Structure 1
Amino acid sequence: MDVRKRKTILFLGMALFAMFFGAGNLLLPAYLGFQTRTDWTFTFTGFSITAILAPVLAIFAVAVSGNYFTDLGARANVKLAYILSLINVLCIGPLIALPRAGASVFEVAIQPIIPTAQPVWVCVLFFGAVMVASFSLNKITGILGKIFAPLLLFFLVLLILPGLFMGATLATLPTVIEDRFYVGFQEGYQTMDVLAGLIFAVLLIAGANRKGYTHTKDKIDVVVKSALLAAVCMLLVYGGLFYLGAHAQANASDVTRSSLLISIATQYFGSNGMYLISLLMLLACITTAIALTAGSANFFERLTKGKLGYIEGVISITLISIFLAITGVDTIIEYAAALLNFIYPVTLVLILSVLLFGKTITNQKPYFITLVVTMVISFVRVLAGWFPEETFLANLLNALPMARYNLEWVLPAVLTFVISCFALGRNLNRR
């Protein structure tokens, strides 16, 4: 591998790490480690599957399908691809992920230091900076890979290293949580990185193309290796944060995700620890917000065929995000649950089916039918959450295998795909 290619993979991999590492990625690992204590490795393994492996597979799936995540969905149906992509972009863009980033900056980075700060002005300043940084789509990967990612990694190492040496001398309590692997697996969804990975793949592929890697084989090689580099960085950082949480000395009765992280930092850095966490939260949120804003605006420009320009899209997205961010993290999480319960299983089924069978089965019908079945089951899960008094819905879900883990869609999706393939017989390679 030549030096130029190594440099491209390095800076694209760093950019992707910065894109993925948002507020949830900073807060969740330490908190999960604190909850599971001596058994934190089980939880870490489950978390790594949904917060590292699945997002990287999303990057791979888009890369082998084309240049955009709509190319991935087109394996099943072009119209369905745009519908699912629209829901996806709304979730990880102006409706959930972006407002959550702004609200997290206020609640975790600013309010503990400046108690009199007003959320509206913090959100305006934060999204104003995001908007300006997102105006030039072609410079996004450069800004993140060369500036923000090194800063983010430096301060993360600064937080984690003391805990690796000092934490080993502290007694660790046994866990009282059952299904420790599942707890990590389920919480990994909260990072929303599987959905974000579909958008980040577009930015990563565009960055590879700008560096001259336009041939399909070269493009896939650069994108895959960049994604693997980002995955290694996430694995090391998450492992370190889990370890810090498992060895944290805090009162379990009143600890929250943010207070735990601040407690860990002050344990090793005194009063300056609060400023370190504030800086980390700000860096984590702004890098992810820039990438999500740019990716979402690019999607809406393509969706409207240029009627909504990229710059207009950036402005619109940031304005909507400011309005929703002011409502606070708890409010955003409350209305986000239904959308995520619907779109996550569908997205995972699409990613896995294309990666596993995309080269051998080109007929759209197995993918389309499987996605429809998964959508129906996911919608039942949403309805069960909206109408908990309707026991029929809960009983219907509980009759399916792995329902207790919110994975009731897995077996029906597998069976549907297999039966569809058998039904098609020799027509598996006909579109």
Structure 2
Amino acid sequence: MKRKDVFFTGLMLFALFFGAGNLIFPPYLGMEAGKAVWPAIFGFVVTGVSLPILSVAAIALAKDGVQSIGNYVHPLFSLCFSITVYLAIGPFFGIPRGASVTYEMGIKPFFNGNGGALSLLLFTIIFFAIVYWLSLNPSKLVDRIGEILTPILLLSIAVLCVAGIIRLQNPLQTPAEKYASAPFFKGFMEGYLTMDTIAALAFGIVVVNALKDRGVHQQSAMVKATIQAGLIAGTGLALVYIATALLGAKMSINGPFANGGDLLSNAAALLFGSGGKLLLGVIVALACLTTCIGLTAACAQYFHEITPNISYKAYVTIITIFSLVVSNLGLNQLISLSVPVLTMIYPLAIVLVVMSFFHRFYKGSAKTYGMALLFTAVFSVYDGLNAFGVETKWLEPLLSWAPFFSVGLGWVVPAIIGAIIGFVLDNIALKQHKTA
């Protein structure tokens, strides 16, 4: 395979990843972290870059994408988990959020912030008409996104961030309370909100299919090309996250800002005047459009595979119409609904992906996978219920023993303990079977 094809596949993957959350969360993190911006953004990069690239590699190693990885646990778990992942990153949260962010940051500023429900509806109709058209032929995604849209996106982001870092000489502020004691772990948790680790479980198959369309069919060549494309995408993401976080840190003195979108809007206006609105509009539109196209294509491909009697085109139609309706709920409502769900799903996805790389070590033991995920689920469901506002204080004495519990990562050590218990139980059962 030509290096050019791998390079543009990597750019396509970058654009698929780089959507609404990737644009609005790093600058807000930078604003709140202030002097602690470096450890905070490093934690963000771990969940926002490293884990998604590992997920893409895991999909390339598997035969049938996320469903194959889930089958290590149980076919029923695989089906339920896969559907949950695709619905969460697709029509329920990921795709509508992309349209809402585009409107809030790219369109609404031209109405001086006074755009109403009708203007949002009209915009989303146009937005999803474009998404629908460009999603109908997934084999053209590399050409349309990797070779055309991504370079424009990267150039636009570079202009905004470089100008901000050079021209804004404001001193960094004292970190906000939540970044004062454990900025790395807080940044790690903020990386959940990009949805990229679970999105990678869907995008992985898009990359694999794109490489197949370019003549890559051998498993070893596929894994190598996928990892190379992932590294290209990961490098781009890390650079953009660091740059936008630094921009946010330098803009904090001009705040407060309601969210990362508000911060970037003010930064663009401060740096480029009225032309800044146009620049930011281009960045937001390209970032969110490319991600929504990729998510629509990935979801439609998956659901078509599990129900072949319904065509890919029909699923594209269903997903775009449903996403259009949900996107009109508004950005704040979508974020408030998505955070608890992501808090529950993310740890399970991380454990499943990481364990798939050590599959041979425990010979694919279903008990090892199952116990690790069970222990993880106890803590991730607790954190998710907390995020929903459900009263869970009575559970704290039972769970607070876990390291990192106070920073929302209490599931890490229990996942390891669960895997060890499952591995031991499987070996005991195997020995009993041999002696029987």
TM-score range, shorter chain: over 0.9
Contact preservation (8 Å) 1:48, 1:235: yes
Q: 2: distance between equivalents of 1:195 and 1:268?
A: 35
Shift of 1:358: 4.1
Q: Secondary structure at the match of 1:356?
A: coil
Paired letter, 2:376: T
Q: Report the equivalent of 2:50.
A: 53
1:238 aligns with one of 241, 246, 250: 241
Greater mean deviation of Cα atoms: 20-29 or 176-185: 176-185
1:316 Cα shift? 0.3
What are the ranges of 5 or more consecutive residues in structure 1 without an aligned counterpart? none
* Cα distance change, pair 170–384 in 1 and its aligned pair in 2 (3 A): closer
CA contact (8 A) 2:105 2:265 kept: no
Which residue number in structure 2 is paired with residue 30 of structure 1? Answer: 27
Look up the match of 1:71: 68
Following the alignment from structure 1 to structure 2, what is the Cα–Cα distance between the partners of residues 97 and 141? 21
Q: What's the % identity of the aligned pairs?
A: 29
Which secondary structure does the structure 1 equivalent of 2:342 belong to?
A: helix
Report the RMSD for the aligned CA atoms in angstroms.
Answer: 2.0
Corresponding position of 1:161: 162
What is the letter of the counterpart of residue 58 of structure 1?
S
Asked if the contact 2:26/2:260 (under 8 Å) is kept, the reply is no
In structure 1, what residue type is equivalent to 2:164? G
Asked whether the equivalents of residues 32 and 252 of structure 2 are also in contact (C-alpha less than 8 Å), the reply is no
Bigger shift: 17-26 or 176-185?
A: 176-185
Give the aligned residue type for 2:380.
S
Distance in structure 1 (CA, Å) of the matches to 2:71 and 2:88? 20
Corresponding residue number in structure 2 for 1:172 = 172
Q: Which amino acid aligns with 1:146?
A: E
Which one-letter code corresponds to 2:267 in the other structure?
A: I
Q: How far 1:49 sits from its partner (Å)?
A: 0.4
Report the counterpart of residue 379 of structure 2 in structure 1: 377
Evaluate the alpha carbon distance shift between residue 182 and residue 252 of structure 1 in structure 2; reply closer, same or farther with a 3 A threshold: farther
Q: Which residue of 2 aligns with 1:281?
A: 284
The 3 A distance-change label for structure 1 pair 389 and 350 is: closer
Gaps of 5+ in 2: none
Determine if contact 2:33/2:183 at 8 Å carries over to the other structure. yes
Asked whether 1:184 is paired with 2:187, we answer yes
Contact 2:53 2:200 in 1 (8 A): yes
Give the alignment of 1:300-319 within 5 angstroms.
300-304=303-307, 306-319=308-321
1:218-272 CA-partner distances (Å, limit 9, x unpaired): 0000000000011111111111111211222643334532221112222221221
**In structure 2, how many angstroms separate the alpha carbons of the residues matched to 1:80 and 1:203?**
22
Deviation at 1:136, TM superposition (A): 0.7
Aligned with 1:362: secondary structure? coil
Residue 315 of structure 1 deviates from its aligned partner by 0.5
The verdict on how the C-alpha distance between 1:266 and 1:387 changes in structure 2, with shifts beyond 3 A counting, is closer
Cα–Cα, structure 1 residues 412 and 326, in superposed 2: closer, same or farther, change >3 Å? same
Aligned to 2:150: 149
Classify 1:372/1:55 alpha carbon distance in 2 versus 1 (closer, same or farther; 3 Å). same
After superposition, the C-alpha distances for 1:355-414 in whole angstroms (9 at most, x for unaligned) are 134465223221123223323432333344456435313443334332212112111110
Residue 357 (structure 2) aligned to one of 352, 355, 358: 355
Is the contact made by 2:30 and 2:248 (CA closer than 8 Å) also made in structure 1? yes
Q: TM-score, normalised by structure 2?
A: 0.92
Residue of structure 2 in register with 1:323 after alignment: 325
CA distance in 1, matches of 2:253, 2:276: 15
Aligned length: 424
Cα distance change, pair 360–382 in 1 and its aligned pair in 2 (3 A): closer
Q: Verify the 8 A CA contact 1:171 1:247 in the aligned structure 2.
A: yes
Q: Give the counterpart letter for 1:262 in structure 2.
A: S
Amino acid corresponding to residue 349 of structure 2 in structure 1: T
CA distance in 1, matches of 2:201, 2:100: 24
Output the CA distance in 2 between the equivalents of 1:289 and 1:386: 26
Match of 1:248, SS state, is: helix
Note the 1:59-138 alignment, pairs <5 A.
59-114=56-111, 115-116=114-115, 118-138=119-139
Q: d(CA) in 2 for partners of 1:27 and 1:100? A: 11
Residues 365 and 423, structure 2, Cα contact 8 Å, conserved in 1:
no
Alignment partner of 1:173: what SS?
coil
Q: Contact 1:76–1:368 (CA<8 Å) still a contact in 2?
A: yes
Whole-Å Cα distance in 2 between the matches of residues 7 and 420 of structure 1? 45
Runs of 4+ aligned structure 1 residues displaced above 4 Å come to 384-387
Paired residue type of 1:160? C
| CA–CA distance in structure 2, aligned partners of residues 390 and 33 of structure 1 | 31
Q: Is the 8 A contact 1:18 1:284 kept in 2?
A: yes
CA distance in 2, matches of 1:346, 1:387: 21
Question: What CA distance in whole angstroms lies between the structure 2 residues aligned with 1:222 and 1:207?
Answer: 11
- The Cα of 1:35 is off from its aligned counterpart by 1.5
Counterpart-to-counterpart distance in 2, 1:299 and 1:86: 9
Preserved CA contact (<8 Å) 1:96 1:332: yes
Aligned positions of 1:208-287 closer than 5 A = 208-248=211-251, 250-287=253-290
> Structure 1 residues 359, 214: closer, same or farther in 2, change over 3 A?
farther
Counterparts of 2:258 and 2:392 in 1: how far apart (Å)? 34
Say whether 1:334 aligns with 2:336. Answer: yes
Question: In the alignment, what sits opposite 1:396?
Answer: 398
Which deviates the most, 312-321 or 34-43? Answer: 34-43
| Alignment-mate amino acid for residue 180 of structure 1 | P
Q: 8 Å contact 1:76–1:365 — kept in the other structure? A: yes
Q: Which letter maps to 2:335?
A: I
The corresponding residue for 2:369 is 367
Query: 1:204 aligned to 2:201?
Result: no
Q: Secondary structure at the match of 1:111?
A: helix
Shift of 1:334: 2.1
1 CA distance for matches of 2:392 and 2:173? Answer: 40
Alpha-carbon spacing, 1:281–1:9, altered in 2? closer, same or farther (3 Å)? same
C-alpha separation in 1, matches of 2:145 and 2:256: 38
Using a 3 Å threshold, how does the CA distance of structure 1 residues 46 and 257 change in structure 2: closer, same or farther? Answer: same
Q: Which residue is 2:16 aligned to?
A: 19
